[in-house]
A and B are shown apart, each in its own frame.
Chain A
């Protein structure tokens, strides 16, 4: 079971628990920023899920005139349907009119928001682990520098009378001089680097995708694919000019259309922490061409 499935499973468990507490709540669904249902309770069937997704998607587009949807409530004779926004996702609830809406809203807000936070923490933790690991594959442009101390067997040869130098962990963040490049291959020095402004990636949108991936403009990804054609580009290097730190990670297209073409890259929080950058910082992104 992948991380995303675990997260969706956690969400669905929460939805089912809310339903258990309030039997008058008939259906619960979570919609992501693209207005697709990413989690639902066990009673929500495909017809309902499809209808909720399509109705909400259409409405969300038309609601830009009023500043987007913060909340939406349909009050019927027998039931009410309400959508409440939590960070970047919406919780859709179908409930009987017999239930006190304020009570349900409070409960769902507390339970649901807490679950979201927990999931984000878990995802951030797993991203941190992947970031703190050494760069997975050797890179022609950026390689780990040689350790500042001799190898252990050399150290063992040092007479015991001499004080042992403190061991300094090798870092993998300093770029080294590029290797000579064969003429027949596309120039790796000419790898198209893109300067981008850092934006946060938050919310449960990471549930449905790789949580440790940065999000790039579709145009940038398209350009890379065009340049390298047959070569598989699945990862990118993210470099901070100031700290000279670099991270190699997966990438995905930005989901929010409004953010397209603005020269931003959405970077998971833990990668930001590792690089020492924050929202608004300028970083360089390059494709990791194998």
Chain B
């Protein structure tokens, strides 16, 4: 990636919780994904920490809003349909695809070129025990 706009808010407590450990393992996974595939960016966050890396900084805010809305809408839709807990969401847009995963606390959103096969990335992340 040519341009990196990243931000990481660190947790106030230095005691590592399970959530923190999961967050860090996800950081490693996303680093591997970035090495293996050309992605347009990602957002990894939980209630205490956030890490993002978006190729085009102009789009960062709108993409963050979209990812957030995908998680919010899944919660609402799953409630009325009794679909259980969320595994993942895939939005295929005209220009870009968004892949969102959640383990309950940590939320990962990956932005891909439309032509990129999100299934390969999804498999890679799931195999890493997301």
- Taken together as a complex, chains A and B put the C-alpha atoms of A75 and B86 apart, in Å, by 6
Tell me which of B66, B77, B80 contacts A62 (CB under 8 A): B66
From B7-15, B22-30, B87-95, the one touching the partner chain is B87-95
B73 touches A59 (CB 8 A): yes
> What chain B residues lie within 8 Å of A26 (beta carbons)?
81
A183 within 8 A of B: no
Does A76 lie at the interface of the complex (its beta carbon under 8 Å from any beta carbon of B)?
yes
**Set of chain B residues within 8 Å of A65, measured between Cβ atoms:** 59, 62-63, 66, 93, 96
B76 touches A (CB below 8 Å): yes
Contact for A78 among B69, B83, B96, CB less than 8 A: B83
Given A59-B73, A62-B62, A65-B63, are A70 and B93 also a contact pair (CB < 8 Å)? yes
Q: Check A163 for interface membership: any CB of B closer than 8 A.
A: no
Cβ contact within 8 Å between A81 and B81: yes
Q: In this complex, which of A56, A59, A66, A94 has the most chain B Cβ atoms within 10 angstroms of its Cβ?
A: A66
CB-CB contacts below 8 Å: A56-82 with B: 56, 58-59, 62-63, 65-81
Residue pair B89, A75 in contact (C-beta under 8 Å): yes
Let me know if B91 and A63 touch, CB within 8 A: yes
A226 at the interface (CB under 8 A from B): no
Knowing A58-B73, A76-B86, A76-B87 are in contact, say whether A66-B94 is a contact too (CB < 8 A): yes
Q: Is the beta-carbon distance between A77 and B93 smaller than 8 angstroms? A: no
- Footprint of A on B, CB under 8 Å? 59, 62-63, 65-66, 69-70, 73-74, 76-78, 80-98, 111, 114
A-B contact pairs, 13 of them (CB 8 A): A26-B81, A27-B81, A51-B76, A55-B77, A58-B73, A68-B93, A68-B94, A70-B93, A71-B91, A72-B91, A73-B89, A75-B88, A77-B83
